[in-house]
Amino acid sequence: MKCNHCGEEIKEVVVHRFTYDGSDTYSNETILGGKEDNEETCYYLDIDKQATMFEFEDSYEDFIQYVSCPKCDKYPFKGSVSIYQRAHVVFGISDKEEFE
């Protein structure tokens, strides 16, 4: 996708995160969506709830400050923001054949 601010082609965004000790860190997150079957669709990120942006679900002005273009450091998307619930299900490895 092209960044709405600088116009550069980008494949990922930089997402701000707080660590458990309260310090700042950043992660690069792949931009998903875009064009499917030659038609425009929305862009989305598949990230965990530990990203700082999820602390501001009721205020999108704060929410967008924590996602930036890796080239110009500005918010790269245009249009509305929607947050959907998702489940991160982790299956362990067990020697048992069935669950009890």
Tell me the per-residue pLDDT of 64-77, one tens digit each, with 9 for 90 and over: 888 999 999 999 99
Instruction: Report in angstroms the alpha-carbon separations of 91 from 19, 46, 88, 99.
Output: 25, 19, 10, 12
Predicted TM-score (pTM) of this structure: 0.74
Name the H helices within 1-100: 60-63
Which range of residues forms the domain containing residue 30?
Answer: 1-100
Q: What share of the chain is helix, strand, coil (3-state, %, to 5)?
A: 10, 30, 60
Is the pLDDT at 42 greater than 90? The verdict is: no
Highest mean pLDDT among 14-18, 38-42, 54-58, 93-97: 14-18
Listed ranges 45-49, 68-72, 83-87; the one with the highest mean pLDDT: 68-72
Distance of CA 3 to the CA centre of its chain: 15
- Provide the number of structural domains found in the chain: 1
